[in-house]
Amino acid sequence: MPSNKSVSDAPIVQFTNCRILRDHQLQREDLWVREGKILNPEKLFFDEKGSADVQLDCKDSIIAPGFIDVQINGGFGVDFSLATDDFKSGINLVSQKILSHGVTSFCPTLVTSPPSVYHQVLPQISVRNGGAHGAGILGAHLEGPFISKEKKGAHPEHCLRTFEAGAFRDLLATYGSLDCVQIVTLAPEMRRSSEVIQELTKRGICVSLGHSVANLSQAEEAVQHGATFITHLFNAMLPFHHRDPGIVGLLTSDKIPAGRRVFYGMISDGIHTNPAALRIAHRAHPKGLVLVTDAIAGMGLAPGRHTLGQQVVEIDGLNTYIAGTKTLSGSVATMDTCVRHFQEAIGCSVETALEAASLHPAQLLGIEHKKGTLNYDSDADFLMLNDNLYVQATYIAGEEVWRQDASRM
């Protein structure tokens, strides 16, 4: 049956002999792609009378949506919180290297920094599509500096800021611009935070609660004003207490506005969160769990001393500490490692583990109509994985951008 070239001259690629993650289940179907989008084969057959130009045998691989990392501070020696002359080449290097981890889109994350760093770095981050050059950039995640001194974690105390009389103007003056910003993490107990949350939300920016000593009612008020995310649940917040569970209580709160879902990030690296805590969070609110790496410049490098913004950190195995302390400072885990650890720790299905790194972050950012699923007409950003969830190949817009060397498989 000939292709119908009256609709489009672009080649149609049919991926066969695979199991596709669609509608929360692995389904034995073929995947059809044209012009960077996923095709509905029924429309192709019956409306266009078309067929595939190219067939690719996937050899029984799993095909899943590409991973989306909404919190990554850098990697491979590149620190997104350092203002350097070659910042763009650094972000390009990271975006290219994380293709091998299955990441097809990400939010470069800046930790608490002086205003001068934001003013230099943010104009150099631009939202862009992914491709052979690397994973797509969805916008920056600004983690701080409007956070709690008590729960600053690895953030430098001398750079922390509060909201004064002109709360939102303070934020704009600190960052310089919000043009490329996708997520802002702040502490909701700070005075005037509610008006800032409302202003950010109006501009389509996701507000995340983190590095905070907020009690549950303060966290609920922040959600009622528009906050939708929790930055690395359990880390850098008050521990769960049965009389006031703090931010953690949002997972089962009955004060969440109707139709709203609160999402929460988890660093599933075997270091930041005990497997039992992962299981508690997942069982309490499975549809809100978003896997993040929180990776720092040392990811992909040998143990030793590296940077995280204004701080020096030491990598010892999978542990990363502020130099000379036992304060955890980001991770060196890759997203595919986090997915595998999550599945093993939770004992959940393959589908559940994969959606925590794809569908859920897409839903958080409101882009699930084009990313995070393999629905018809969505972007053809997807992975081929084996049954143990090791990435075999990464595709963006239907084009292969990374493949595991056959000799290493």
Top CATH class, 13-64+373-403: mainly beta
To which H or E segment does residue 290 belong?
A: strand 289-291
Parallel, antiparallel or unpaired: strands 229-230 and 263-266: parallel
Question: Model confidence over 327-346: pLDDT tens digits?
Answer: 888 899 999 999 999 999 99
Residue 408 tokens, joined = 């290493």
Cβ atoms of 325 and 314 closer than 8 Å: no
The boundaries of every CATH 2.30.40.10 domain in the chain are 13-64+373-403
Residue 321 tokens, joined = 């500490």
| Region of residue 108 (left: phi > 0; alpha: psi -120 to 50; beta: else) | beta
How far apart are the two ends of the chain, measured CA to CA in Å? 37
Question: Model confidence over 162-202: pLDDT tens digits?
Answer: 998 899 999 999 999 999 999 999 999 999 999 999 999 99
Cβ atoms of 261 and 175 closer than 8 Å: no
Binding residues: 143, 154, 211, 232, 235-236, 243, 272, 328-330
pLDDT for 45 equals 78
Alpha-carbon gap, residue 303 to 299, rounded angstroms = 9
Q: Which residues are CB-neighbours of 334 under 8 A, at least 6 positions away?
A: 98, 101, 293, 295, 299, 300
DSSP conformational letter for 394: E
Residue 60 tokens, joined = 């029984």
Cβ atoms of 247 and 186 closer than 8 Å: no
Work out the average pLDDT over 380-394.
98
DSSP lists the bridge partners of residue 136 as 105
294 counts as catalytic: yes
Whether the full predicted model's pTM is greater than 0.85, yes or no, is yes
Cβ atoms of 267 and 331 closer than 8 Å: yes
Q: Is the pLDDT of residue 6 over 60?
A: no
Question: Model confidence over 210-221: pLDDT tens digits?
Answer: 999 999 999 999
Angle at 263 between CA 260 and CA 267, to 5 degrees: 180
Angle at 152 between CA 146 and CA 156, to 5 degrees: 85
pLDDT for 5 equals 44
Percent share of the chain, pLDDT over 70 = 97
Q: Is the pLDDT of residue 409 over 70?
A: no
Binding residues for Zn(2+): 143, 211, 232
CATH topology of domain 66-365: TIM Barrel (3.20.20)
Work out the average pLDDT over 56-85.
97
Amino acid at 231: T
pLDDT for 7 equals 58
Catalytic-role residue among 79, 269, 294, 381: 294
Query: φ, ψ for residue 235 (rounded to 5)?
Result: -90, 135
Alpha-carbon gap, residue 186 to 181, rounded angstroms = 14
Q: What is the DSSP string of 77-125?
A: TEETTS--TTHHHHHHHHHHHGGGGTEEEEEEEEES--HHHHHHHGGG-
DSSP conformational letter for 328: B
Alpha-carbon Rg of the chain, whole angstroms?
21
DSSP conformational letter for 43: I
Residue 11 tokens, joined = 């080649």
pLDDT for 408 equals 43
Work out the average pLDDT over 136-156.
97
Work out the average pLDDT over 115-139.
97
pLDDT for 406 equals 53
To which H or E segment does residue 64 belong?
A: strand 54-65
